[in-house]
Amino acid sequence: MDKKLIGIDLGGTTIKFAILTEKGEIQQKWSFETNILDDGSHIVPDIVQSINHHLSLYGMEPEQFIGIGMGSPGTVDLNEGTVTGAYNLNWKTLQEVKKVVEKETKIAFAIDNDANVAALGERWKGAGENDKEVAFITLGTGVGGGLVSNGNLLHGLGAAGEIGHMVVQPKGYLCTCGNHGCLETYASATGVVRVARDLAEEFAGDSKLKRMLDDGQEITSKIVFDLAKEDDLLGKMVVDRVCYYLGLACGNIGNLLNPSYIVIGGGVSAAGEFLLSRVEKYFLEFAFPTVRKSTQLKLAQLGNEAGVIGAASLALRFK
Amino acid sequence: MDKKLIGIDLGGTTIKFAILTEKGEIQQKWSFETNILDDGSHIVPDIVQSINHHLSLYGMEPEQFIGIGMGSPGTVDLNEGTVTGAYNLNWKTLQEVKKVVEKETKIAFAIDNDANVAALGERWKGAGENDKEVAFITLGTGVGGGLVSNGNLLHGLGAAGEIGHMVVQPKGYLCTCGNHGCLETYASATGVVRVARDLAEEFAGDSKLKRMLDDGQEITSKIVFDLAKEDDLLGKMVVDRVCYYLGLACGNIGNLLNPSYIVIGGGVSAAGEFLLSRVEKYFLEFAFPTVRKSTQLKLAQLGNEAGVIGAASLALRFK
């Protein structure tokens, strides 16, 4: 029988698991809530216990697995298999992950950060069509990214792929990172709302979005995009501004890396073709002619499963 | 005896050659003028003849060489070893280079584009300190670049590393590529002069640079930088503007790739630390905190020799 992979997507709310074939087909899936109490000290033991429990449930042995791969928030040391500064897990100090998981499961373990792992997933089984040259942008609470070139993730000295912190507007909005005008401040879910509030101030025409903001109603990026699709004037202005910055970032990613695909995923990308076509308009304005003709923008295809699939692919190195 | 490498730097004015040890030490150097007549049809035969002539001059045989590497202008097909669209060589149609050179010299041949090859040279024996993560920007007539990550050049679909065409100022100066606001329009030798002319128009104070421009004297980027070093007010404004755009580009290269070094070379970089410190000021403003602390800006060290050294390193694959 062919050996299997285990993929783990460690998040601040849930931990997702999957058992996959080495071709990337999901055979089993489960998840549980992340227990971040006591400085997140239960997380690794919970993961180990859950894996061992499910292996015995399915009547499987460690020898039947090529390896385990995991995506984690925070700063990941790829070689040591440790994580630091994952604040949504209450992991403030260095956490030994690889050492513990390998000891307790007897299965080889590899780890990378969550955005990189999602990029690997979309590259392998999603919109990236298993191409060697794929850039991935995820538009969620923040804006993350992962870059694959020559078939490998780019790590640089560890922080490569910080697409959310590309500066797209010098002296623009203040970012949580301390800089101004990062892509994340405009194109994350909260960024879209920020742009909406900002443009509403100087907007004078008729707009439901404007009225909702003035009423103090709670606005989400989904509401902004939905109203824009219904031709709301302010909504359309907000979407245009957001797509302009995304197009500028994609253009410059293209000019530097000329990937086959720039894949856009995450919650905000649920706006679909409405978003993509508008980003593309600006991408075509900012991309170098050769890049414009070769690099293609696409929507992500795997949704939530990108994490476990990409994580599992990390373990292919143990084949 | 250890085997040797041959590096060729093919330019529109001269063709430079070097014989190097496999450690990258230059043992012999020569060059001759590029004959671009008759659609550049003499170039490849001239190269072959020159190599064979020098080998017999030094009493060397093809078997003593690991291979030949060459950097070329135009669009290079790495696998086929062909070049198209190298207009400064009058090469408008596809040129067979690898096939001819290998047949006529009996030495294995590899080729890449000139900016990539210069990046490899600076990475191997220059400011890049043979690190696996190096970005290289060359500020010459245009602005070129090459990106090394995981120890390999990034090619993407062929046009990766177009640093000169990163858009740093949407709706900025019109570029030869047809886009607006490319880095090249501000930070190339001609870009610097363009910024000078532009800022001079609205400049009212006392400045020798302003007087020279008003007199219709010929201005070069060297003159602009020299005057700025002498505290010329307009000169300092021009340098500040150029370094701002370079700092923005370096910041975003850092945010995407987090290399160990971003190496700045080419004619404009002759301004040395005066340029570098000013680019760094803006780089620190635009780089993500982790990147700011880890990625380092440096001046190139090899000058004109980066081309032949980097070209020779292409041939190391035949070892």
Q: Which chain A residue's Cα is nearest to B134? A: A156
Q: Which CATH architecture has domain A130-301?
A: 2-Layer Sandwich (3.30)
Distance CA A283, CA A292 (A): 8
Task: From residue A208, give the alpha-carbon distance in Å to each of A211, A233, A317.
Answer: 5, 9, 53
Q: What is the mean pLDDT of the segment spanning A200-214?
A: 96
Distance CA B274, CA B284 (A): 16
pLDDT at B267: 93
- How confident is residue B1, by pLDDT bands cut at 50, 70 and 90? low
SS3 content of chain B, % helix, strand, coil (to 5): 45, 25, 30
The yes-or-no verdict on residue A169 having pLDDT over 70 is yes
Report pLDDT digits (tens) over B89-130. Answer: 999 899 999 999 999 999 999 999 999 999 999 999 999 999
Helices (H), ranges, chain A: 37-40, 43-57, 98-105, 114-125, 184-187, 189-201, 208-215, 221-229, 233-257, 273-286, 289-294, 306-314
A101-160 residues touching B, CB cutoff 8 A = 133, 147, 149-150, 152, 154-160
Sequence spans of domains, chain B: 4-120+305-318, 130-301
DSSP A175: P
Cβ pair A159:B248 closer than 8 A? no
A4-120+305-318 topology per CATH: Nucleotidyltransferase; domain 5 (3.30.420)
Q: Does A130-301 match A4-120+305-318 at the fold level? A: yes
B-chain residues near A163 (CB < 8 A): 255-256
Distance CA A219, CA A216 (A): 9
Residue A211 CA, chain-centre distance (Å), reads 33
Q: Which of A76, A162, A171 to mutate to test the interface with B (most CBs of B within 10 A)?
A: A162
Residue B264 contacts A where some CB pair is shorter than 8 Å: no
- How confident is residue A1, by pLDDT bands cut at 50, 70 and 90? low
Q: How far apart are the first and last CA of chain A?
A: 14
The answer to whether the CB of A121 falls within 8 A of the CB of A308 is yes
Across chain A, what does the average pLDDT equal?
96
With b for 16 or more beta-carbon neighbours within 10 A and e for fewer, the B185-196 pattern comes to bbbbbbbbbbbb
Distance CA A139, CA A143 (A): 5
Which among B147, B178, B290 is the nearest to A289, CB-wise? B178
- How confident is residue A96, by pLDDT bands cut at 50, 70 and 90? very high
Distance CA A245, CA A194 (A): 14
Which among B150, B159, B253 is the nearest to A288, CB-wise? B159
Residue A246 CA, chain-centre distance (Å), reads 15
Question: Which 3 state secondary structure label does DSSP give A200?
Answer: helix
Cβ pair B256:A166 closer than 8 A? yes
- Residues 6+ positions from B111 with CB-CB distance below 8 Å: B69, B70, B71, B72, B76, B78, B81, B83, B97, B98, B314
Which among A133, A159, A251 is the nearest to B288, CB-wise? A159
The answer to whether the CB of B136 falls within 8 A of the CB of B128 is yes
Minimum distance, in Å, between the CA of residue A178 and any CA atom of chain B? 8
Rounded percentage of chain A residues whose pLDDT exceeds 70 = 100
Q: Which chain B residue's Cα is nearest to A244? A: B170
Which among B178, B260, B291 is the nearest to A162, CB-wise? B291
Query: Max alpha carbon distance in chain A (Å)?
Result: 67
The yes-or-no verdict on residue A158 having pLDDT over 70 is yes
Rounded percentage of chain B residues whose pLDDT exceeds 90 = 96
Q: Is B255 exposed, middle or buried (0-12, 13-18, 19+ CB in 10 A)?
A: buried
Give φ, ψ of B33 to 5 degrees.
-70, 140
pLDDT at A87: 86
- How confident is residue A75, by pLDDT bands cut at 50, 70 and 90? confident
Q: From the CB of residue A79, how many other CB atoms can be counted at a distance below 10 Å? A: 7
Distance CA A156, CA B132 (A): 8
- Residues 6+ positions from B204 with CB-CB distance below 8 Å: none
Q: Which chain A residue's Cα is nearest to B161? A: A256
Cβ pair B255:A156 closer than 8 A? no
pLDDT at B92: 87
Q: Shortest CA distance to A177 belongs to which of A188, B178, B3? A: A188
Tell the residue number behind the tokens 């755009």, with chain if given.
B245
Across chain B, what does the average pLDDT equal?
96
Report pLDDT digits (tens) over A35-66. Answer: 999 999 999 999 999 999 999 999 999 999 99
pLDDT at B144: 93
Strand partners, B299: B264
Strand ranges (DSSP E) for B64-219? 65-72, 75-77, 82-84, 95-96, 109-113, 134-139, 143-149, 152-153
Cβ pair A156:B295 closer than 8 A? yes
The answer to whether the CB of B222 falls within 8 A of the CB of B260 is no
Q: From the CB of residue A222, how many other CB atoms can be counted at a distance below 10 Å? A: 14
Q: State the complex-level ipTM.
A: 0.94
Residue A140 Ramachandran class (φ > 0 left, ψ -120 to 50 alpha, else beta) = beta
Distance CA B228, CA A157 (A): 35
- How confident is residue A85, by pLDDT bands cut at 50, 70 and 90? confident
- Residues 6+ positions from A272 with CB-CB distance below 8 Å: A299
Report pLDDT digits (tens) over B51-97. Answer: 999 999 999 999 999 999 999 998 899 999 999 988 889 998 999 99
